[in-house]
Chain A
């Protein structure tokens, strides 16, 4: 597949790369005039490249990291043009759908088995679910001391309709051993260094998560082929965990007898201190634990922040709430910075791990500047903090309340 052709080209250009080896990395040497680094070649408009909405915010264009804004996420089901992109490497090219295969291997399979995409589609029962995908680093930009990585604000979340087959059904067909602990994925994207022997990311899920009904090998999103930026033609979807476990462009899965040890499984990536730490603490890798369930969270998606209304107007608000646990049991809003909270009307989820829609009619006591804050509570009784939650070195899991600015004139 893609990796193979990468290798061929890598070898062909070996003459070029050995130049650097001979020169040593200490020497910054000149290439010809007119040399344009890959990143500056102008193919960097996500509207043109991926059909994204023009108000999506580009955090990085190599690799692609693009987020939504709260008001763009107003649709009950997130359309492709408003879905965030978090890529760790370079999107694969020349995807050959007709010859795409998925191989299941690893220490804990009874047999190695390869399926064509068509096998998967025709030999297993198809399921569709609305599933939240949220980047583990969504909200990172609010941590202080700053945490490194893409500085996501609030828009690295989506809830689309995903269609595919259950991972559990495929694993049953392959046959897995009792000592299976973890599933690791491998995709066709290329590492940023263009090293053909290195995966940009190869994460995965514990076996219990793999067995859930909503954990899919998906081939369609919102009733169409998955867009290229989101993992066409095959994506692992395991909602409720950081979206990095939902590997894109999947060609292999490993059934492991230990916690998967692929790229970005090791701390500090997608890990938090096992015990809470003081902000700014240098946490050794062995004291970090892999993130599993994502915390309860909500977004006000209407109106857009900055609404001005007259004193006689009531303000309709709406949005979504989600959690990596079982369900959201209530959403409240406050216009006095948490001094008082009022309930929102909350829909039940259409299926586990779908976001739930809320709405309310807000009235304001007098003219002035207000912030409308929303706070969701999950079925275990945990709510969103109003402040940024516990600091962690890589700035994950910020589920602080979302708020919008409103002026009554």
Chain B
């Protein structure tokens, strides 16, 4: 958008606004709070809206999704929770290459869209906050809840 003349920018801005308003109208028409009825489809073919996430962050965690609050959180919520829950993301660990590979696999086979210029920021976020944690081939048992065993 940077190289566009001003009047074209305004025009595009207006068109985007109109589309958003249409989107809102269609959205409210189809809105339900229950599970979708009769095979109702809520498309996941685009990023979700992210607004007001700051107020949902507690102790460094975005509470509704469980994502770590950091630069790029809004993009990751927008792009990575449209199809599946954030839980599928947060339980995984990988380096930048590994995250890129997963994204390519989803783009090639699972209908994930192009992430464009935002891909770099998403990869930064994922590789910084969900990097592999080195451990032995079979670490000691942890989190044992001790209890008395009765005969």
Report A's interface with B, CB cutoff 8 A: 2, 5-6, 8-10, 13, 15-17, 19-33, 35-41, 43-44, 58-63, 65, 93-94, 142, 144-146, 148-151, 190-196, 198, 263, 266, 268, 303-309, 313, 315, 371, 386-388, 400, 403, 405, 407
Does B44 lie within 8 Å of A193, measured CB to CB? Answer: yes
Choose one: A145, A194, A308; the contact of B43 (CB below 8 Å). Answer: A194
Distance in Å: Cβ of A63 to nearest Cβ of chain B: 6
Does B41 lie within 8 Å of A6, measured CB to CB? Answer: yes
Label chain B's interface by main secondary structure.
Answer: loop
Distance in Å: Cβ of A171 to nearest Cβ of chain B: 29
A/B interface sample: 27 pairs, CB < 8 A = A13-B43, A16-B23, A16-B30, A16-B43, A17-B46, A24-B116, A25-B114, A26-B117, A28-B49, A29-B47, A30-B51, A31-B23, A39-B86, A62-B84, A93-B35, A93-B39, A145-B94, A146-B94, A146-B132, A148-B98, A149-B92, A192-B44, A193-B44, A196-B41, A198-B111, A305-B141, A305-B144
Does B46 lie within 8 Å of A25, measured CB to CB? Answer: yes
Distance in Å: Cβ of B132 to nearest Cβ of chain A: 5
Does A35 lie within 8 Å of B138, measured CB to CB? Answer: no
Q: Which residue on chain B has the smallest CB distance to residue A304?
A: B147
Tally of contact residues, B, Cβ under 8 A: 74
In the bound complex, residues from chain A placing their C-beta under 8 Å from that of B37 are 93
Distance in Å: Cβ of A251 to nearest Cβ of chain B: 14
In the bound complex, residues from chain A placing their C-beta under 8 Å from that of B85 are 39, 44, 60-62
Q: Which residue on chain A has the smallest CB distance to residue B119?
A: A26
Query: For the complex, what is the distance from the CA of A191 to the CA of B109, rounded to whole Å?
Result: 11
In the bound complex, residues from chain B placing their C-beta under 8 Å from that of A39 are 81, 84-86
Label chain A's interface by main secondary structure.
Answer: loop
Does A94 lie within 8 Å of B22, measured CB to CB? Answer: no
Identify 12 new A-B residue pairs, CB closer than 8 A, beyond the known A13-B30, A19-B46: A5-B38, A5-B39, A25-B113, A33-B51, A43-B34, A60-B84, A94-B38, A146-B93, A150-B88, A194-B44, A306-B144, A306-B145
Query: Taking the complex as formed, is B68 at the interface, i.e. its CB lies under 8 A from any CB of chain A?
Result: no
Does B110 lie within 8 Å of A193, measured CB to CB? Answer: yes
Choose one: B30, B33, B39, B78; the contact of A6 (CB below 8 Å). Answer: B39
Does B146 lie within 8 Å of A306, measured CB to CB? Answer: yes
A388 touching B138 in the complex, CB below 8 Å, given contacts A37-B81, A307-B149: yes
In the bound complex, residues from chain A placing their C-beta under 8 Å from that of B61 are none
In the bound complex, residues from chain A placing their C-beta under 8 Å from that of B147 are 304, 306-308
A29 touching B45 in the complex, CB below 8 Å, given contacts A39-B81, A371-B141, A387-B137: no
Query: For the complex, what is the distance from the CA of A30 to the CA of B46, rounded to whole Å?
Result: 12
